[in-house]
Amino acid sequence: MSSAAARGETPRLRPDLAVIANWIKPGATVLDLGCGDGALLAHLQREKACLGYGVEIADASVLACVRRGVNVIQRDIEAGLGMFAASRFDVVVLSMAIQVTHQTERVLREMSEVGAEGIVSFPNFGRWSHAWSILRGRMPVSREMPYEWYNTPNLHLATLPDFEDFLAKFGYEVSASAFLKNGKPVNWLAGLRATQAIYRFRRVAS
């Protein structure tokens, strides 16, 4: 239990989760993929009367969700979202996890099949300090990418234009975006300065 929870205080959301929470309307139905300890869903349930499920594979995180009163299903998101085929969520969230997926296109397609809109956050590989690390002959290590080259789970790192092109290629339209540098908003030169990107999008009707 966190010190804030022990004192009876409401724990603060991670900065990118706070942005995501602000985008979600009261009463919305939410599916949070790779939901971690359930902090986002717990906040949405408490502050916005939202309903939904988290999907998480790690035992400790699933237990943390249960302790928070979050409905959670233990499952690898890359095994598919077929169990939600009969459901329709207002929002499907994938926060700081898309870079570890093997079948990224499939994950986003299935997000759009079960949700009216998607929200994704990821570390910005285009930040200037990452380029500088590579020029010095070293793989980047940062708060958002805290792993060494040999133990990183990250498979598909992307810059902001990379991700925007990816969405456009597969028929998604961006409705909102936000960029953070160590948890603080970035309003100019985001591609070079931001450490984290958050996109809200939906599939364009064919």
Nearest CA among 101, 53, 54, 52 for reference residue 79: 101
**Cα 30 to Cα 21: distance, rounded to the nearest angstrom:** 11
In the prediction, which pLDDT does 1 show? 45
What's the domain count of the chain? 1
In the prediction, which pLDDT does 180 show? 96
In the prediction, which pLDDT does 73 show? 94
- Domain containing 13: what range? 3-203
DSSP string, 66-102: HHHT--EEE--GGG-SGGGTT--EEEEEEES-GGG-S
Q: Give the mean pLDDT per block of 10 residues along the chain (206 residues).
A: 45 90 97 96 97 95 96 91 87 90 89 94 81 71 68 72 94 96 92 93 82
Q: Which two tokens stand for residue 87?
A: 């459901």
Nearest CA among 99, 93, 155 for reference residue 120: 93
38 Rama sector, left if φ>0, alpha if ψ -120 to 50, beta otherwise: left
- CATH classification at residue 71: 3.40.50.150
Phi, psi at 132, each rounded to 5°: -65, -40
